[in-house]
């Protein structure tokens, strides 16, 4: 492995010296394919830039989570979500004196493997790929950055540092127990040559990215659900966390209109959740006595975390959103339509692979059905919502060619 020597200072990128349990770019475990160091960027900043310039990152602008792109341009996309996660992660990492470049990089890359149509798309691809090894968006993210992105003549993928790859794979915790699942074969194979220590926890920066994801999607789902009219502000008054915050906003601004009340409540909820993560993490650091990044990986549990009370409140908020938003008849109708689009395309390409674009047909050369199905899945998973809708029309409606 290449030892990283890229230039930079020894701070958390916020001006203060890093804590001892932070990652240090100067001691990075390097890249699978050695490269000359950058004269102006740390290895983690270089990883961030590679992710931002990746084709998969650009396509996030028209991939959605709950709503489909054609339902309106004021709802979050995977791109806006990733940017929000990155902003929160950088803020928390800076406050905790961690490497904010690494936290931001993992946050920006964590959703690269999501297919079109959010969770509906993932559910359908998982079902279609069940006979061929399955589908998992985290594994697909790994495949995007290690294989599917083709931007460099010397290697496949983005050739990210060990720490970034570890964070993308393990930000939610150890994954060694999943390696016997067929869908995880790509990670198992890669790991045999570039050991990511899949049985341990990831660095604190990756854990920050994971919690930032939770903060971002809980808040923007409340915001988007209200904006879409799936539920009303008054219905949130008895929901933990958001209810007391709404009471505070109405007390402070009794004449505020509904739109600004919503935005102020979401802003405050983000602040409360960020503050809770920092308070709980500092308490865990003090209790555990961690003094190195290796200590964080070997701790046996997460170091960066919400408090138990916050975890319980978030579970009740998620239960409300599941009932009133994710299972809303309008959302379910769109999910059903999205799943049919992907199912019909997958089955057609599997039966008639000559209908794929030529460059994708070339990737099928010499492959058996199982590996061919993976190529078809890669093609579909890389689509945006809009492209999937239009591609489906081209395949099933003759008049779109007129």
Q: Is residue 44 located within the same domain as residue 170?
A: yes
Tell me which residues of the chain have a pLDDT lower than 70: 1-15, 66-75, 400-402
**Does residue 8 lie in a domain region?**
no
Q: Is residue 46 located within the same domain as residue 187?
A: yes
Per DSSP, helices labelled H in 14-77 are 43-52, 55-59
Q: Is residue 359 located within the same domain as residue 375?
A: yes
Q: Rounded mean pLDDT of the chain?
A: 92
**Does residue 185 lie in a domain region?**
yes
Residues near 66 by beta carbon (within 8 Å), at least 6 away in sequence? 75, 118, 119, 221, 224, 225, 325, 326, 331
Q: Is residue 246 located within the same domain as residue 152?
A: no
User: How many C-beta atoms surround the C-beta of residue 332 within 10 A?
Assistant: 12
* Per-residue pLDDT, 398: 76
Q: Is residue 232 located within the same domain as residue 96?
A: no
CATH of the domain at 36: 1.10.3210.10
**Does residue 37 lie in a domain region?**
yes
Distance, in Å, from the CA atom of 314 to the CA atom of 86, rounded to the nearest integer, reads: 21
* Per-residue pLDDT, 17: 85
**What digits encode the pLDDT tens for the residues 75-124?**
678 999 999 999 999 999 999 999 999 999 999 999 999 999 989 999 99
- Domain end residue (candidates: 287, 305, 330): 330
Strand partners, 155: 152
Distances in Å between the Cα of 158 and the Cα atoms of 79, 110, 112, 147, 151 are 19, 14, 12, 8, 7
Distance, in Å, from the CA atom of 225 to the CA atom of 232, rounded to the nearest integer, reads: 9
Whether residue 226 contacts residue 250, with contact meaning beta carbons closer than 8 Å, is answered with no
Q: Is residue 181 located within the same domain as residue 241?
A: no
Per DSSP, helices labelled H in 35-77 are 43-52, 55-59
Look at the chain and count its residues: 402
Distance, in Å, from the CA atom of 55 to the CA atom of 63, rounded to the nearest integer, reads: 13
Q: Is residue 381 located within the same domain as residue 358?
A: yes
Q: Domain range for residue 230? A: 205-330
Q: Is residue 104 located within the same domain as residue 159?
A: yes
**Does residue 1 lie in a domain region?**
no
Q: Is residue 295 located within the same domain as residue 360?
A: no
Distance, in Å, from the CA atom of 300 to the CA atom of 287, rounded to the nearest integer, reads: 14
**Does residue 2 lie in a domain region?**
no
* Per-residue pLDDT, 6: 45
Whether residue 190 contacts residue 166, with contact meaning beta carbons closer than 8 Å, is answered with no
Q: Is residue 72 located within the same domain as residue 104?
A: yes
**Does residue 12 lie in a domain region?**
no
* Tokens representing residue 147 in the block: 């294989």
- Domain end residue (candidates: 141, 159, 191): 191
**Does residue 200 lie in a domain region?**
no
* Per-residue pLDDT, 53: 97
* Tokens representing residue 155 in the block: 């290697």
DSSP string, 271-319: HHHHHHHHHHHHHHHHHHT--SHHHHHTSSS-SS---HHHHHHHHHHHH
Describe the chain by its helix, strand, coil percentages, rounded to 5: 65, 0, 35
* Tokens representing residue 156 in the block: 């496949």
Question: Among 392, 355, 333, which Cα is nearest to 120's?
Answer: 333
Q: Is residue 308 located within the same domain as residue 173?
A: no
Number of folded domains that form the chain: 3
- Domain end residue (candidates: 275, 298, 330): 330
**Does residue 163 lie in a domain region?**
yes
* Tokens representing residue 10 in the block: 């020894």
* Per-residue pLDDT, 5: 44
Q: Is residue 41 located within the same domain as residue 167?
A: yes
Cα pseudo-dihedral 390, 395, 401, 402, rounded to 10: -100
Q: What phi, psi does 256 have (nearest 5°)?
A: -70, 140
**What digits encode the pLDDT tens for the residues 263-316?**
999 999 999 999 999 999 999 999 999 999 999 999 999 999 999 999 999 999
């Amino acid at each position: 492995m290449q030892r990283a020597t890229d230039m930079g200072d020894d701070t958390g990128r916020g001006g203060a010296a890093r804590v001892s349990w932070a990652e240090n770019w100067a001691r990075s475990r390097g890249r699978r394919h050695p490269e000359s160091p950058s004269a102006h960027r740390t290895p983690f900043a270089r990883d961030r830039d590679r992710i931002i310039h990746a084709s998969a990152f650009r396509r996030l602008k028209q991939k959605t989570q709950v709503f489909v792109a054609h339902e309106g341009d004021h709802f979050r996309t995977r791109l806006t979500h990733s940017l929000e996660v990155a902003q929160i992660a950088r803020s928390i990492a800076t406050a905790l004196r961690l490497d904010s470049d690494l936290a931001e990089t993992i946050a920006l890359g964590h959703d690269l493997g999501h297919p079109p149509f959010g969770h509906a798309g993932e559910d359908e691809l998982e079902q279609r790929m069940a006979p061929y090894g399955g589908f998992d968006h985290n594994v697909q993210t790994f495949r995007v950055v290690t294989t599917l992105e083709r931007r460099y003549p010397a290697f496949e993928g983005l050739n990210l540092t060990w720490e970034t790859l570890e964070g993308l794979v393990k930000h939610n915790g150890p994954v060694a127990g999943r390696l016997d699942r067929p869908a995880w074969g790509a990670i198992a194979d890669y790991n045999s040559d570039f050991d990511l220590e899949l049985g341990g926890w990831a660095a604190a920066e990756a854990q920050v990215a994971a919690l930032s994801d939770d903060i971002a999607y809980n808040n923007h789902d409340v915001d988007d659900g209200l904006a879409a009219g799936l539920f009303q502000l008054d219905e949130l008054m008895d929901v933990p966390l958001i209810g007391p915050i709404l009471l505070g906003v109405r007390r402070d601004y009794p004449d505020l209109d509904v739109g600004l009340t919503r935005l102020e409540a979401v802003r405050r909820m983000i602040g409360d959740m960020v503050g809770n993560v920092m308070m709980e993490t500092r308490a865990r650091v003090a209790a555990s006595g961690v003094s190195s990044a290796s200590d964080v990986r070997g701790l046996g549990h997460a170091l960066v975390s919400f408090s138990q009370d916050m975890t319980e409140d978030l579970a009740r908020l998620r239960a409300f959103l599941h009932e009133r938003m994710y299972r809303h008849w309008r959302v379910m109708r769109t999910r059903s339509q999205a799943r049919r689009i992907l199912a019909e395309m997958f089955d057609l390409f599997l039966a008639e692979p000559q209908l794929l674009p030529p460059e994708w047909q070339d990737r099928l050369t010499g492959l058996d059905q199982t590996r061919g199905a993976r190529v078809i899945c890669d093609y579909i998973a890389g689509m945006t919502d809009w492209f999937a809708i239009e591609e489906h029309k081209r395949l099933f409606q003759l008049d779109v060619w007129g």
